[in-house]
Amino acid sequence: MLSRKGIIPEEYVLTRLAEDPTEPRYHARERRARFVAKNGNCNVAHKNIREQGRFLQDVFTTLVDLKWHHTLLIFTMSFLCSWLLFAMAWWLIAFAHGDLDHNTRIETGENDATFIPCVTSIHSFASAFLFSIEVQVTIGFGGRMVTEECPLAVLVLIVQNIVGLMVNAIMLGCIFMKTAQAHRRAETLIFSKHAVIALRHGRLCFMLRVGDLRKSMIISATIRMQVVRKTTSPEGEVVPLHQMDIPMENGVGGNSIFLVAPLIIYHVIDANSPLYDLAPSDLHHHQDLEVIVILEGVVETTGITTQARTSYLADEILWGQRFVPIVAEEDGRYSVDYSKFGNTVKVPTPTCTARQLEEDRTLLDSLPLTSPKGPLRKRSVASVKPKAKPKFSISLDALS
């Protein structure tokens, strides 16, 4: 929607989508199923859950997790059912006390001045329903009211007020929590569509770019990465989704990041890395490899913890490429060009695994030392006129 309005460039918005709309929607080739989609949704279907009653033990969370049309339907029906329930109670009280017959006699001209009804002006179920709405939402039009004639009516009045407050608290709280859910903030936390593997400080590194569109910061932001693949233990046990944590290097230390401008997060592929034996020929759609990236932090404006997720399959990892710079200093401040957020450029990189590079460092000798130069971003500075040289000079001898 933002791209249609021209607020965000189209090529940037694609980094948050699971598929590129310019590509064919249906592929003939088989592709490994994702564990986490590009937009962060977990691709897991829960089946044959026998203990469905556990969801009713936490009704509030169940209501928040429902879709919007289901939540609005329950919101409407909860009020309608409570109004109808107490309308039936008010009608039964009026019927048992004879208020309906008294109103009929008044309409026929037979007025009994000594008769006091439980609720005034109730002569049908429709009037009882209107009185139920007036009591629960505290409208009070003044045409109907409870008298002290019937203690049961006073008790029903108290019970309906308490039930109405509980329904208001639960349903309004549910609506508020759905509108303030943490994943809404994660929509503006974005990742590059592709990850890259290239040399950095003489070692192969797995790199990706992460950014935040909003000016409000993510406090205590941390990022972590996992590799998910199918493994088999020495005992023959097959683990279909084996998760392995891999350390991230972000220049700040640990997993904490200061996400004011887009950052390139990288992982050094060393002997402890599950990518140690990964070669360029392994980066195809049949390779059983998925790298999951998780960004967590506290929203500065609301104080709610949010989480953004994405994943990279083997064919979404580009070997021998590097992200282009998108941050430049302009007019005394730093400017970010999001139109180049996911752009990469080819750089000299050995076509071998990290293990082979560690064993034979001479493979780096055949690579050029300088990376290919791209277009330089010029900094706009205010034009400063050169100082004019004086057309005459004063001699010290003339002053003496």
- Per residue in 236-269, pLDDT tens? 888 888 888 888 775 555 678 888 889 998 899 9
At residue 96, does pLDDT exceed 50? Answer: yes
CB atoms within 10 A of CB 161: 13
Q: Tell me the whole-structure pTM to 2 decimals.
A: 0.67
pLDDT digits (tens, 9 = 90+) for 125-171: 998 999 999 999 888 777 788 888 888 999 999 999 999 999 999 88
CATH 1.10.287.70 assigned to domain 53-180? The reply is yes
> At 71, phi and psi to the nearest 5?
-65, -45
On average, the pLDDT of the chain sits at 79
Query: Which residue, among 206, 196, 223, has the nearest Cα to 320 in the 3D structure?
Result: 196
Domain 185-366: which CATH class? mainly beta
Q: According to the model, what pLDDT value does residue 60 have? A: 79
The domain segmentation of the chain, as residue ranges, is: 53-180, 185-366
pLDDT digits (tens, 9 = 90+) for 286-330: 888 899 999 998 888 888 888 899 999 988 999 999 999 999 888
Cα–Cα dist 260/264, whole Å = 12
> Average pLDDT of 96-116?
68
Q: According to the model, what pLDDT value does residue 382 have? A: 41
